[in-house]
Each structure stands twice: as C-alpha cells, then as structure tokens.
Amino acid sequence: MNQCFATVARGLEALATQELEQLGANAVEPGFCGVAFEGDRALLYRANLWARLPFRILVKLHEFPCRDAEALYRGIQTIDWSQYLTPDQTLAVSATGKYEQLNHTHFTALQVKNAIVDQQQEAFGDRSNVETQAPDVRINVHVDRGHCTVSLDSSGDSLHRRGYRPAMGAAPLKESLAAALIQLSGWQPEQMFYDPLCGSGTLPLEASLKALNIAPGLFRDRFGFETWLDFDPDLLEQLIQEAEASQRDRLPAPIWGSDHSEEVIQQAISNAQHCGVLDHIWFSPMELSDVVAPADNGVLFCNPPYGERLGRDSDLGAFYKLLGDVLKQRFKGWTAFVLSGNKELSQSIGLKSSQRIAVYNGTLPCQLMKYELY
C-alpha cells in the first residue's frame, strides 16, 4: 500500500478529499495545500488518470528528522536508491518548505541530488544525470519543522496541464481550478452550461469532460510513473481502456461558450478538437452586449477580467455593470457564477449574491459569487 499526497491549490483540500474518496482512496486526510491518502498501484494510476483537482500525486518513500544540511544528506543516503533509479536513468529533485538551517530550496535540492549520486557512484561507479525538463525519476523533498519527507512524483508534468490546450488566451484559468469551480457550483450535466466570456474555452471544456465522463489524464503524453522501475504497462493500459469505455456518447444538456474575440474563439475550437468534444460543444464570437439566454434555465459561468487582463485603459467598471445588466435583464430563471479577484469591480455588477465562496486563482485571493436570477 502506497502512502501518497496529492498537492492541490490552497482552499481546495476538502473538495480534493471528496474526489479521492470517490476514486477509492483509503485513509484520506486533508492537509495544507494537499491531501494525504493510501492506495495500491492501481489506485495510484487511477488517481493520475481521473483526478481533476490535484497538481501532483506524490508517493512517500521516507521521513526523517532533519535540522541541517548534514542530517539531510545522511537521511537521503539511508534510502536504497537502486530500488527506484539506475545510473542510466535521469533524475530531477524539487524541494519545498524551509527550516532554520535549510532555508533555500535550491540548496536543499542540490544536497539531496548529491546524496543520491554519491551513493550511486559508490555502488556502481556511475551516476544518473540531472534532467530538469522530462526526467525518468522526479524526486520531491519537503522540509517542515525539522522533518524531511522524501517522495517520488508519480505525475511528471503538473496534472493541471491536461495536454488538450495548446492554444491559450490571455490569463487563462488553470484547468484544475476550472474543474474545482464547476464542482463548487454544484452544476449537474443535465443543466445547460454557458460561459459568455469563455476566452480559450477552459470552463466549457472542463464542463464537457465532466458531463461526458472523460478522464482528464487521457490527453497526456505520459505520467511520471511510466519510467519507474516497477511500472506496470498492462495495468495502465487496462485502466485507459476502462476509462475510454466509460465515456458517454452525448451531452445531457448543451454546453456553450462565447467571447468578443474571434481569435480566442478559434483557440477554444482548436482546444475542443484536441480533447475530442468539438462535436458536442458550441463556441461562437459574440459581444457581451449581444448575449441573450439560449434557454429558459441553466447555469451561467464566467471569469471576467479583474485588473490588467483587458489592458489598463479599459473601463472595467462599465464592463462589470454591463455584465450585471445582461444577467438581470436576459437570464431570468438561471443561476450565475462569477469569479472575481476585485471586490470593488464585483460591486459594479449591481446584483446581490446569494453565496460567496473564497478561492485562490494562483496566489490571488478571489471569490466565486453565486447569483439566483429571478
């Protein structure tokens, strides 16, 4: 049984806990910016393939007291690295957290790398090369209050980079955050979904993947665990086939996106093509002032600009007022969710929110505001 830790954006720990429990994880425990859990190899592969919220799934190897660089080096050398890494494989080390004597993550990572390759050199007369971009084995060390946790990163590239989105507009939402917002809203695939400020399409695309039960990991070139010494290709292939077989053929309700820019709509269409939902989803260029409700009821979602995104000279206050007017006058019977990182601007919407949920967009504190439109 592997002891694992899924790293997630701050504030999404409880939501990620639910997701991992649904995937079959055991002993699930939310922490700070992540969730600890246990599971076998199949669960590890499944979590990477299916989880929509985490950035990385780390597999814990060892934990030891660590108050300075020397203790760190010694602790790393107590691990038999030949179980995880051969000298002809490449490695990368990432470090997080700090302690009095270990307050520079680059130095911490360097010390860990040195301990590993020194052990290899002594045992084999050869050592792994460092490869920061696509290493065969990615090692994560976390230093916290005089303790060091050493893990293998089973994901490789961050899981939020689904692989379906080569085309991106300005300031796009991370796919994992878009999935979390949809989850937080309580939207169900039987309800129409519309984003009138869709940019390169992240929110409608994540809604489509959820509604069609498409595993987000299917678009990736590879996972980190695929170059591990104990990788089981047959097991991964079986899980991929099961995931593909469980996809739905059609959306229960329409999913639409529009944006004033023809260029970003082309990007959204390209992204929809990459994740195989182009035939299911509708994207069109449209000014916000021309937007009308396409059905009697549904869920409207949008992430309007909250600062530099439209340029400094734009009158964002007027833009938010227009958004409020469109919601008020044309979307009666709908529920709207607006993500805003600017409290002052959100007041220009001129509607009373029935709920506000605190979330982080990167490091920026934001609010997901819910409006019941009668």
Q: So what's the pLDDT on residue 168?
A: 64
- Give the confidence band of 344 by pLDDT, cuts at 50, 70, 90: confident
Distances from the Cα of 243 to the Cαs of 46, 47, 239, 240, 247, in angstroms? 9, 12, 6, 5, 7
Give the H or E element holding residue 30. Answer: strand 26-31
- Give the confidence band of 356 by pLDDT, cuts at 50, 70, 90: very high
Q: So what's the pLDDT on residue 314?
A: 58
The residue assigned the tokens 């010494």 is 229
Average pLDDT, the chain: 93
Q: So what's the pLDDT on residue 171?
A: 63
DSSP3 helix / strand / coil % (the chain, rounded to 5): 35, 25, 40
Report the alpha-carbon distance of residue 260 to residue 199 in Å, rounded: 9
Which two three-digit tokens encode residue 275? Answer: 């994740």
DSSP state, residue 128: P
Mean predicted confidence (pLDDT) in 8-33? 95
Q: Report yes or no: 246 and 213 within 8 Å, Cβ to Cβ.
A: yes
Q: Does pTM top 0.75 for this prediction? A: yes
DSSP state, residue 247: -
Q: Report yes or no: 138 and 228 within 8 Å, Cβ to Cβ.
A: no
Q: So what's the pLDDT on residue 169?
A: 59
Report the alpha-carbon distance of residue 102 to residue 86 in Å, rounded: 28
Three-state SS at 3:
strand
DSSP of 277-342: -TTTEEEEE--GGG---SSSS-EEEE----SSTT-TTS-HHHHHHHHHHHHHHH-TT-EEEEEES-
- Give the confidence band of 28 by pLDDT, cuts at 50, 70, 90: very high
- Give the confidence band of 363 by pLDDT, cuts at 50, 70, 90: confident
Q: So what's the pLDDT on residue 167?
A: 59
Mean predicted confidence (pLDDT) in 158-183? 84
Q: So what's the pLDDT on residue 343?
A: 86
Backbone angles phi, psi at 231, to 5 degrees: -60, 135
DSSP state, residue 130: B
- pLDDT for 312 beyond 60: no
> Does residue 78 or residue 145 have the better pLDDT?
78
- Picking from 127-136, 166-175, 239-248, 300-309, which range would have the lowest pLDDT averaged per residue? 166-175
- Give the confidence band of 152 by pLDDT, cuts at 50, 70, 90: very high
The residue assigned the tokens 């020397």 is 70
Mean predicted confidence (pLDDT) in 302-322? 75
Report the alpha-carbon distance of residue 230 to residue 310 in Å, rounded: 49
- pLDDT for 104 beyond 90: no
Q: So what's the pLDDT on residue 310?
A: 44
Mean predicted confidence (pLDDT) in 338-350? 92
10: nearest Cα among 33, 35, 29: 33
Report the alpha-carbon distance of residue 142 to residue 333 in Å, rounded: 49
Q: Report yes or no: 257 and 283 within 8 Å, Cβ to Cβ.
A: yes
Three-state SS at 358:
strand
Q: So what's the pLDDT on residue 311?
A: 47
Mean predicted confidence (pLDDT) in 297-316? 75
- pLDDT for 101 beyond 90: no
